[in-house]
């Protein structure tokens, strides 16, 4: 009991000794200016692949530059390019234990345009019961 009390007391003292005063770090007017700019109608959306996302990204990059933030690995740019794969269902077929499976019963997550699996592929057949969580069952959790 004494160890817990002493540990709690030391943790509390450490917290108060090193706590920062947010009023000196965060400028409410500056936060409001940035929020209003990013939420303005002329930004037209800030999600990836939405209209004018480049305008919002350029604004954020200019804010980073104005406060002296370093770029990632001194790349000279605050923007990071990435690729995004969006699946598009075309068709699916499966034969399990010699019987054709209903197309609605087949789920495949892959970045490959074509996928062929047979008995030698090393996969196992799993049945997910009604009401079970697909992600937990598929992930083996």
Q: What pLDDT sits at residue 55?
A: 87
Q: What pLDDT sits at residue 136?
A: 82
Q: Domains of the chain: which residue ranges?
A: 2-74, 94-139
Q: What pLDDT sits at residue 125?
A: 72
Q: What pLDDT sits at residue 5?
A: 64
3-state secondary structure the chain: CHHHHHHHHHHHHHHHHHCCCHHHHCCHHHHHHHHHHHHCHHHCCCCCCCCCHHHHHHHHHHHHHHCCCCCHHHCCCCCCCCCCCCCCCCCCCEEECCEEECHHHCCCCCCCCCCCCCHHHCCCCCCCCCCCCHHHHHHCC
Q: What's this model's pTM, rounded to 2 decimal places?
A: 0.48
Cβ-contact 70, 87 below 8 angstroms: no
Full pLDDT tens readout for the chain, 141 residues: 666 666 766 666 666 666 666 777 788 899 999 999 988 888 876 677 777 788 888 999 999 999 999 998 888 899 888 777 777 777 778 887 788 888 887 777 777 777 788 778 887 777 788 888 887 877 765
């Amino acid at each position: 009991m004494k160890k817990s009390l002493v540990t709690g007391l030391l943790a509390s003292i450490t917290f108060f000794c090193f706590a920062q005063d947010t009023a000196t770090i965060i400028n409410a007017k500056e936060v409001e200016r940035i929020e209003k700019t990013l939420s303005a109608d002329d930004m037209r959306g800030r999600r990836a692949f939405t209209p004018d996302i480049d305008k919002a990204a350029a604004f954020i990059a200019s804010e980073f530059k104005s406060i002296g933030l370093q770029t990632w690995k001194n790349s000279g740019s605050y923007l990071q390019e990435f690729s995004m794969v969006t699946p598009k269902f075309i068709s699916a077929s499966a034969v399990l234990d010699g019987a054709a499976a209903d197309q609605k019963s087949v789920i495949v997550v892959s970045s490959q345009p074509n996928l062929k699996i047979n008995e030698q592929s090393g996969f196992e057949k799993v049945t997910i019961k009604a009401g079970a969580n697909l992600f937990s069952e598929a992930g083996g959790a």
